[in-house]
């Protein structure tokens, strides 16, 4: 397989943030990457990671998922992924997971990690994965900048291409066409990466507001201190860091559309503040008593089942009522298989100019593999897979090996690539993880006695 670089100019050394709370792991990574010419910064905790990303621009980050001693759930790492995305959505994040915790890795990819590396890692594989993601992110950042500039010059938002030829999407398209011209608040639900933001952009572009701004904000990731100032703006001197007046997202979107993403993660106090503005159509910037009127159509999105949240009291019913005049639910990609190849071809067409404009097709093995994959990361995962394949392929057809699909296949995990011992270790580790490290339960799950299970754990160096 040949690697092609999308650019002929000599690339600048890549800046990479590596993070792990185990000093020996961090040192091993530092040594490996340093000799390869990477510029490195090290972090040992989630707080250090976030501070580093706030302070510098990186080409990639490579992080471990577990930080609290005795914690192997990976939750700190998963929460961290959302926070990193809120700081810099274009930054490629690679996660490191313990061998056998494929589920954790799949979860991480679902939440936005670009790829995962299993510990103990294979040096060559780690370097290839890292370089691929750095090349991709550089290309994406370049195009994103150009597209942003063009959009500002163009003014009116263009209808984004919404690939939706499947039976499952037909009724949704009909609803979208009907509600686009109205000012109805639309709540778009669906798993991560199903296309909620594209649908929001499409609704905006098809509305009478298309010539006015579309402003997207990740409402669920705004901390207590920044929520109000981000959404409603502030005046100079409102708080220590308020050196100048700042206009908030509501005012930025005046006359246009405001897209509030991840609303289920909003704490109660923020929900109350948002509700007040939605009810009155008026706001004041933090530190100012002047009321300002805004004319904004609000679209919102969540991947959480909101009905359950309101039932548990975590989300206000009156706010939900304001946000979902119409609800549009996007099915996961695995439930609209007819769209998989259409989307893959759409991404090939859309992205090939970035990789030299060559006409690239999918061969039969690649098509089959795409159809069989389970797509836990939905359309976003498919988009990444196609883009990576475009970068990696040397010829005019993408083969199954260029797709580098791992885990999540509809046919189950990648047992066909494992030795019997590897498969056994994988099953033991997986049973432990699924049973929260309860050995008796895990043993029972695999039909083994406790002592037989313990013997196997010892053989594979696994600890509960
Ligand atoms: N139907 C589609 N046609 C074309 N491109 C699509 C479609 N659905 C999704 N995409 C592309 O897939 C990527 C992910 O989509 P998007 O960001 O809209 O998903 P999302 O549901 O908002 O994700 P998240 O829940 O993680 O915020 C985007 O690059 C988008 O352009």
CA atoms of 392 and 400, how far apart (whole Å): 12
Ligand 1: which atom is nearest the Cα of residue 188? 21
Q: What are 74-117's pLDDT values in tens digits?
A: 566 677 888 888 777 788 999 988 766 677 777 787 778 888 88
φ and ψ at 257, to 5 degrees? -125, 135
Could you please report the per-residue DSSP string of 161-217? P----STTTHHHHHHHHHHTTS---EEEE-STTSSHHHHHHHHHHTSTTTTS-EEEE
CATH number of 170-330: 3.40.50.300
User: By CB neighbour count within 10 A (0-12 exposed, 13-18 middle, 19+ buried), where does 100 fall?
Assistant: buried
Q: Which two tokens stand for residue 354?
A: 């970035």
Give 96 Cα–ligand 1 centroid separation in angstroms: 25
**Which residues are near ligand 1 (CB < 6 Å)?**
161-164, 190, 192-198, 261, 301, 303, 343, 346, 379-380, 383
Nearest to 433 by CA among 62, 24, 75, 69: 75
Query: How many A from CA of 192 to the centre of ligand 1?
Result: 8
- Nearest Cα residue to 111 out of 76, 138, 151, 158: 76
Assign a CATH topology to domain 418-459.
Arc Repressor Mutant, subunit A (1.10.10)
Q: How far is the CA of 143 from the centre of ligand 1 (A)?
A: 17
Kindly give the distance from the C-alpha atom of residue 193 to the centroid of ligand 1, in angstroms, as a whole number.
5
Res 150: pLDDT = 55
Domain pair 170-330 / 418-459, same fold? no
Low-confidence ranges of the chain (pLDDT < 50): 1-10, 69-72, 152-154, 408-413
| Distance of CA 328 from the midpoint of ligand 1 (Å) | 14
The full set of domain ranges for the chain reads 15-145, 170-330, 334-403, 418-459
Atom of ligand 1 nearest to the CA of 346: 4
What pLDDT, on the 0 to 100 scale, is given for residue 305? 81
For domain 334-403, the CATH class is: mainly alpha
Q: What is the pLDDT of residue 151?
A: 53
Nearest CA to ligand 1 atom 23: 193
Residue 249: predicted pLDDT: 92
Of the residues 192, 198, 204, 351, which should be mutated to test ligand 1's pocket, given the most ligand atoms within 8 Å of the CB? Answer: 198
Q: Give CA torsion, residues 312, 318, 324, 326, to 10 deg.
A: 110
CA-proximal residue: ligand 1, atom 25 (nearest) = 192
Query: What's the CA-to-centroid distance between 280 and ligand 1, angstroms?
Result: 32
pLDDT on residue 409: 46
Closest ligand 1 atom to the C-alpha of 111?
Answer: 26
CA of 330 to the centre of ligand 1 (A): 10
Q: Which of 84, 85, 169, 195 to mutate to test the pocket of ligand 1 (most atoms within 8 A of CB)?
A: 195
Per-residue pLDDT tens over the stretch 431-448: 887 777 788 888 888 888
- Give me ligand 1 centre to Cα 238, in Å: 37
Cα(11) to centroid(ligand 1), Å:
29
Nearest CA to ligand 1 atom 15: 195
Q: What are φ and ψ of residue 188, in 5° steps? A: -105, 120
- Hey, whose CA ends up nearest to atom 13 of ligand 1? 380
Ligand 1 test: best mutation among 302, 335, 379, 382, most atoms within 8 Å of CB?
379
- Can you say whether residue 349 is alpha, beta or left, with left for phi > 0 and alpha for psi between -120 and 50 degrees? alpha
pLDDT at 421: 74
Residue nearest to atom 29 of ligand 1 (CA): 380
**CATH code linked to domain 15-145:** 3.40.50.2300
In terms of DSSP bridges, do strands 282-283 and 292-293 run parallel, antiparallel, or are they unpaired? antiparallel
């Amino acid at each position: 397989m040949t690697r092609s670089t999308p650019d002929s100019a000599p690339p600048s050394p890549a800046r990479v943030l590596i993070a792990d709370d185990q000093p020996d792991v961090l040192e091993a990574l530092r040594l490996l990457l340093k000799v390869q010419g990477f510029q490195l910064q090290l972090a040992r905790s989630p707080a250090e990671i976030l501070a580093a990303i706030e302070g510098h621009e990186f080409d990639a980050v490579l992080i471990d998922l577990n930080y609290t001693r005795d914690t192997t759930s990976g939750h700190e790492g998963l929460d961290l992924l959302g926070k990193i995305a809120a700081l810099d959505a274009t930054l490629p994040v690679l996660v490191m997971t313990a061998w056998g915790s494929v589920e954790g890795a799949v979860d991480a990819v679902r939440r936005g990690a670009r790829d995962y590396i299993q510990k103990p890692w294979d040096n060559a594989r780690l370097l290839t994965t890292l370089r691929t993601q750095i090349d991709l992110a550089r290309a994406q950042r370049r195009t994103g900048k150009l597209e942003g500039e063009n959009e500002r010059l163009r003014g009116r938002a263009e209808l984004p291409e919404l690939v939706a030829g499947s039976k499952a999407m037909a009724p949704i398209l009909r609803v979208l066409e009907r509600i686009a011209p109205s000012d109805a608040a639309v709540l778009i639900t669906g798993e991560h990466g199903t296309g909620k933001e594209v649908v929001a952009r499409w609704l905006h572009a098809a509305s009478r507001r298309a010539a006015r701004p579309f402003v997207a904000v990740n409402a669920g990731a705004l901390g207590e201190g920044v929520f109000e100032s981000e959404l409603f703006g502030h005046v100079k001197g409102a708080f220590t860091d308020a050196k100048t007046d700042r206009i908030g997202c509501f005012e930025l979107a005046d006359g246009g559309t405001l897209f509030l993403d991840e609303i289920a993660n909003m704490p109660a106090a923020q929900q109350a503040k948002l509700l007040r503005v939605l009810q009155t159509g008026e706001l004041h910037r933090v530190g100012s008593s002047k009321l300002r009127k805004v004319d904004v159509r609000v679209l919102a999105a969540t991947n959480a089942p909101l009905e359950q949240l309101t039932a548990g009291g975590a989300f206000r019913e009156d706010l939900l009522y304001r946000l979902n005049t119409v609800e549009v639910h996007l099915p996961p990609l695995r439930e609209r298989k007819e769209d998989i190849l259409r989307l893959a071809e759409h991404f090939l067409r859309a992205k090939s100019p970035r990789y030299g404009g060559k006409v690239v097709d999918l061969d039969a093995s690649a098509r089959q593999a795409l159809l069989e994959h389970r797509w836990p990361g939905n359309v976003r995962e498919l988009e990444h897979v196609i883009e990576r394949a475009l970068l990696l392929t040397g010829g005019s057809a993408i083969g199954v090996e260029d797709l580098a699909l791992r885990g999540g296949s509809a046919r189950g995990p990648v047992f066909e690539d494992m030795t019997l011992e590897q498969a056994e270790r994988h099953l033991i580790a997986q049973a432990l993880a699924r049973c929260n490290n309860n050995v008796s339960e895990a043993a029972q799950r695999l039909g083994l006695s406790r002592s037989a299970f313990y013997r196997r754990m010892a053989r594979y160096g696994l600890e509960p």
